[in-house]
Structure 1
Amino acid sequence: MDKRTGRPKIWLYRDKETNEPKGDATITYEDPHAAVAAVEWFNNNWLCLKKSNCSNVNFAFRGACNRCGIVRPTGASGILGVGGRGKGRAAQESGGISRPAGGGIFGPNDWPCPMCGNINWAKRTKCNICNTNKPGIMRVV
């Protein structure tokens, strides 16, 4: 819960018919550095969503939740079931942020933000997540 706003910081997506967690969520951060650190910390770990009162983050190697014992859900290969898509400093140090192969929605001139790892459209001069300048763009004072 955000102390300042009183609103949740983690938004769990649920099936409209069954109200069961889908395995996806949005986590909000005010500080882009904290967001990057969270991605690095949780990368490949998984969140137990089977019991509403659990929400334990489990290490990637665990086959069952170490708090409630529920077996790891199918497809929960990363935090919130995203398969460890998060890219932090480690990806940048190994040559940059990788993109999935194939057409996708991104073009060859789109660029990864060096601060938060978000992929931005080529036309943007600042990251739409953390407001960092596009690499090569000088900030006018």
Structure 2
Amino acid sequence: MIILGAVPACGRERSRTCTIVQVRQSGRAAAVAYVFLGLAIAVEVIGTSLLKATDGFSKLWPTTGVLVAYALAFVFMAQSVKEVPVGVAYAMWSGLGTAAIVAIGAVFLGEPLSLLKVTGVGLVIAGVVVLNLGGAH
């Protein structure tokens, strides 16, 4: 996001130097926002992966892990949407999280993979890509 207004260091003037400073600040903020989004996805995937171990929330430590992971996911997501549009952030969070959970389920939890399931995950990922490339920013 490029901000054309003045930043505190520039006062009211709109020189080339001020604009470059603004772009750099905005670029850093966007990069940090995507780091927060990646963290949100990662801890949500960890929490979801622990769900089976909770045995219907009857086991203390796995349940605590799930709740902490989900709480952290929302904290990180809230930080992310300060810079990333909500629609894009949510699409990436849900799409990449879904793909990761399907992979973890197949590899570590012994869940079967079918052509239909793989196709569905591929379509979800394609939707995330289209949102990001289609100007949803």
Q: TM-score, normalised by structure 1?
A: 0.23
Pair member with larger Rg: 2
Q: Which one has the bigger strand percentage?
A: 1
Q: Which one has the bigger helix percentage?
A: 2
Report which structure shows greater RCO (CA 8 Å, sep ≥6).
2
